[in-house]
Structure 1
Amino acid sequence: MANPLAGLLTARQKEAARRDLYARGLRLCGEYLAARDDRSGPRDARLTRAIGVLAGSLATPSADPFDALLQVGERALEAGGDDGPGLALGVAETATLIRQRSRGAWRLRGLALDGLGRDDEALAAYDRHLALLQGGDATAEVTRRIDTLRRRRACLEEAAALFPEAGSPLRDLPGRPTATAAPEFAAHVRARVAGHGKGDPAVRRLLELYGTYRRLVERDGMPDPLLGGSTPIGVDGLRGLVAGRTACLVAGAAEVAGSALGAEIDRYDLVVRCDAFRVRAEDTGGRTDLHAVSLRGDAPWDGPAWTQRVGIRLVFGDPAAAWRRATRRRLVPGAQEHVGDASLRRPLDDPALLGDGGASRPWGSPRSSGAESGGGRDAGATTAFTVLRLLDFLDVSPRLDLVGFDKPGRLRPAEAAWVMDRATHVDAGTTRIALR
């Protein structure tokens, strides 16, 4: 006869083991905090808060601390630095021991190993994450990183096969951290160039592989660099797409959402919307011909992808490196027919374009869309004013109207003053302001 106490004893042993693992995770957090050098940036503060939430959940018998543990790992990755990925890996290893079939834990483990440059181990963790999805769609982030790591490995493997007589020093590099693999690959390339000359076909191919490898180390590969056929446009391209078309910039305000102006808005040739927006055909109109969005926050590349289908998408932001990284990660193939290139990323501050954001003006590079998206405290111009100022500067639309911007707070005071100084008509009944 089965011993009724055996099952209870086993359950208690498992629970004790789980408590020990959570204690290990909290100890890793304590060691991390003890080794900090008085860092007080926003990302460090978010990590500290996440650790506090974990500690609180461990002290509450009814709470499940697993999600709080994963959140600590995510915040550690976000904090970065020399020790952030290490803490994230320790947390992820703990999480995969607690729940061996947790998709989130294996994803975190892959990201942490990836951040530490341990490509082979990261791929194994990502593969485990994919296996646990059981046919579900992986996140774009994981898909992109798997593609990047595999392409980097392929570069090393092909490079090693080009000069087998050289002892193939590259054969062991795929399993080593990128921090050591990259300089050894560079040394191998220099040695082959010195020994065979740049005219050698194998050397030329080796240089191509090294260039691809270095690009993939510095930034993710794009599964579809052409973005599903999207056409990059500069100032001249935008002018050609806008010329002769009536344009309407629609606010995401509550008054518009319940205005029944949809049919009237859709009569414009070019309907322009900003940042996050919702469409209700009867109220806001059903089309979005131009979508303008501004990058904001410490890591704008981590924001949600721009999945809404539009004709033209303009991404405003500074500095250039953050703009490039964000557009590579957040643009979705096929979600836009045309996308603004780097010449359109900061029109108010670009002396080759408007040059209108210097010290003599109360606005600068776009950093948020003002009250519409909760970014009213940020410095710089709102997204709405930036795209409006750009369209006004191009001066090729026979009609340029704003809908929903007649109330205080839709634009910043200096921007609203600029609009009203140039308004030719204001219709309070339809919340329309005409600039043409």
Structure 2
Amino acid sequence: MRLCGEYLAARDGRPTARDTRLTQAIGVLTSSFDAPGADPFDALLQVGERALEAGGLDLALGVAETSTELRQRSKGAWRLRGRALDGLGRGDEALECYERHLTLLRDSETAVEVARRIDTLRRRRECLEEAAALFPESGGPLRDLTARPTSVAVPEFTAFVQARMADPGPSDPAVRRLLDLYGAYRRLVERSGMPDPLLGGSTPVGVGGLRGLVAGRTVCLVSNASEVAGSGLGAEIDGYDLVVRCDSFRLRADGTGERTGLHAVSLRGAAPWDGPAWTQPAGIRLVFGDPAAAWRRATRQRLAPGAQEHIGDASLRRPLSDPALLGEDRRDPGTSTAFTVLRLLDFLDVSPRLDLIGFDKPGRLRPEEAEWVMERATHVDDSKMRIALR
């Protein structure tokens, strides 16, 4: 509570939305001490998470250190401590916390993300150690950088490389290898590495590739509504050549069917790359998002190796507003994922049958989207929640 008070007292300027969420979390923590049945520990972790979001890394670390002292087997506390140390550039300490978190973890999706970060920190350390070994007489200080914040390590490593470029010079094989290691290190500081850059053999596809994968196949776009899960339509849904699902979904064989031929997801929020990995098996995965930099970072961090056979490339990241495709600038940026993928499939116009299941009630699509669908519907079957566009 002292750390929280000091943080709030030192803050100046107009608060952002993230600052407000942190203040609210501190308020919840304060009130949880007197609330019957409330667990102050959960509220404490929430303060740490909100502090990370707001950029209060020192506060987040203080909260995390307190949390791990209170409960040494708390998965969330060790992950919070690792993230705070990671954000402060204290890679070796963060690595220890991530490894401690991983030993306590049973959630496979989160484990993939933590394992990726552990791999990144280890590879950064290996770059520094190999660089030091290239120059036994002068490289000793590089080994010490593994335990120092990246704010210190990066400029010192840079200075070391510049000195070696001057003497013995870029013609030396050791210097050329040093440059390779320096480039790898800087990339790993900027973003997490990918243990499998080819994602288990997944094939990138553009508009032409997607057209070829969809051509001649019957297509069904399935809603995530609870009515579908209890509909008993599972066998009919799986009978389509290509079953399309959107965002976060759950399968129930007798209601939703079990197959996913195409999974479409839209990136939302200020940091869409921080979401869980897309581990649901799918034949094709399309990720919609703008701007391009956020899209690239999110796909790097959230695509899971082997979870898809084909991945939509950058040409498919914003099909509605891209002038090379539909170019419908009037579309709202908040367009639903379901309508985005439906409009894309309709535009390709290569499927003999294009049906929607579970989108027959208000609220499943935005009003203007539902209007577009009903204007083009060729048949509506209320008994099976089906709207046919072909």
Whether TM exceeds 0.5 here: the answer is: yes
**Do 1:349 and 1:364's aligned partners in 2 also have CA atoms closer than 8 Å?**
no
CA pair 194-351 structure 1, distance change in 2 beyond 3 A: farther
**Do 1:247 and 1:270's aligned partners in 2 also have CA atoms closer than 8 Å?**
yes
Superposition deviation, residue 264 in structure 1: 2.3
Instruction: Report the equivalent of 2:218.
Output: 246
- Equivalent residues, number: 389
Instruction: Report the equivalent of 1:114.
Output: 86
* Counterpart residue type for residue 398 of structure 1: P
> Any stretches of 5+ residues in structure 1 without a counterpart?
1-25, 366-379
Q: Deviations over 1:156-194 (max 9, x none)?
A: 111112123435442321121101211221222222223
Instruction: Report the equivalent of 1:46.
Output: 21
Q: For residues 220-235 of structure 1, what are the structure 2 equivalents within 5 Å?
A: 220-235=192-207
**Do 1:274 and 1:291's aligned partners in 2 also have CA atoms closer than 8 Å?**
yes
> Any stretches of 5+ residues in structure 2 without a counterpart?
none
The separation in 1 between residues aligned to 2:387 and 2:72, in whole angstroms, is: 59
Superposition deviation, residue 299 in structure 1: 2.4
* Counterpart residue type for residue 68 of structure 2: T
User: What RMSD over aligned residues (CA atoms) do the two structures have, in Å?
Assistant: 2.3
* Counterpart residue type for residue 154 of structure 2: A
Instruction: Report the equivalent of 2:355.
Output: 401
CA pair 125-406 structure 1, distance change in 2 beyond 3 A: closer
Instruction: Report the equivalent of 1:213.
Output: 185
**Do 2:105 and 2:111's aligned partners in 1 also have CA atoms closer than 8 Å?**
no
CA pair 429-62 structure 1, distance change in 2 beyond 3 A: closer
**Do 1:307 and 1:332's aligned partners in 2 also have CA atoms closer than 8 Å?**
yes
Superposition deviation, residue 140 in structure 1: 2.7
The separation in 1 between residues aligned to 2:222 and 2:279, in whole angstroms, is: 19
Superposition deviation, residue 285 in structure 1: 2.5
1:184 and 2:178 are equivalent in the alignment: no
The separation in 1 between residues aligned to 2:72 and 2:218, in whole angstroms, is: 58
Superposition deviation, residue 219 in structure 1: 0.6
Task: Give the stretch that moved more between structures: 116-125 or 134-143.
Answer: 134-143
The separation in 1 between residues aligned to 2:75 and 2:336, in whole angstroms, is: 39
The separation in 2 between residues aligned to 1:97 and 1:253, in whole angstroms, is: 43
The separation in 1 between residues aligned to 2:249 and 2:105, in whole angstroms, is: 33
Find the partner of 2:144 among 160, 172, 182.
172
Superposition deviation, residue 343 in structure 1: 1.8
Larger Rg computed on CA atoms: 1
TM-score by length of 1: 0.83
CA pair 134-343 structure 1, distance change in 2 beyond 3 A: closer
**Do 1:292 and 1:316's aligned partners in 2 also have CA atoms closer than 8 Å?**
yes
* 3-state secondary structure, aligned to 2:318: coil
Percent identity of equivalent pairs: 77
TM-score by length of 2: 0.92
CA pair 202-388 structure 1, distance change in 2 beyond 3 A: same
Instruction: Report the equivalent of 2:338.
Output: 384
Superposition deviation, residue 277 in structure 1: 2.0
* 3-state secondary structure, aligned to 1:271: strand
**Do 2:264 and 2:286's aligned partners in 1 also have CA atoms closer than 8 Å?**
yes
The separation in 2 between residues aligned to 1:165 and 1:90, in whole angstroms, is: 39
CA pair 103-382 structure 1, distance change in 2 beyond 3 A: closer
* 3-state secondary structure, aligned to 2:43: helix
CA pair 275-199 structure 1, distance change in 2 beyond 3 A: same
Q: Deviations over 1:69-119 (max 9, x none)?
A: 222112211222xxx110011112222333344443333222211110011
Superposition deviation, residue 135 in structure 1: 9.0
**Do 1:348 and 1:364's aligned partners in 2 also have CA atoms closer than 8 Å?**
no
Task: Give the stretch that moved more between structures: 304-313 or 419-428.
Answer: 419-428
Task: Give the stretch that moved more between structures: 276-285 or 239-248.
Answer: 276-285
* Counterpart residue type for residue 51 of structure 2: A
